[in-house]
Amino acid sequence: MANRKRFGDRRDGRLLRSLGAFYQFIPYIMAMRIDACNQFSDAVEVTETDRWLRAKRKEGYKGLGYLHLFIASYVRVASQRPVVNRFIAGRRIYARNNIEVVLTVRHGMSSDAGETTIKVVLDPYDTVFDVYHKMNEKIDEIKTSEEDNNTERVAGALTKLPRFLLRFAITIIRVLDYFDLLPQSLLDASPFHGSMIITDLGSLGIGPVYHHIYNFGTLPAFIAFGAKRKAVELDKSGNLVERKYIDYKINADERICDGYDFAMAFKYFKKYLRRPEELELPPEKVVEDIF
Span 182-210, pLDDT tens digits: 999 999 999 999 999 999 999 999 999 99
Task: For residue 190, give the nearest of 125, 113, 100, 74 by alpha carbon.
Answer: 100
Query: pLDDT tens-digit profile of 121-130?
Result: 999 999 999 9
Query: pLDDT tens-digit profile of 209-243?
Result: 999 999 999 999 999 999 999 999 999 999 999 99
CA distance 73 to 283: 12
Write down the domain spans for the chain.
Answer: 13-279
Query: pLDDT tens-digit profile of 49-108?
Result: 999 999 999 999 999 999 999 999 999 999 999 999 999 999 999 999 999 999 988 766
Check residue 217 and give left, alpha or beta (phi > 0: left; psi -120 to 50: alpha): left
Average pLDDT over residues 134-143: 88
DSSP letter at 201 equals G
CA distance 100 to 105: 16
Query: pLDDT tens-digit profile of 243-274?
Result: 999 999 999 999 999 999 999 999 999 999 99
- 99-106 and 196-200: which strand pairing? parallel
Give the Å distances, CA to CA, from 20 to 9, 231, 258, 283.
18, 45, 12, 29
What letters, b where the CB count within 10 A reaches 16 and e where it falls short, cover 223-237? bbbbbbeeeeeeeee
Domain spanning 13-279: which CATH class is it, in words? alpha beta
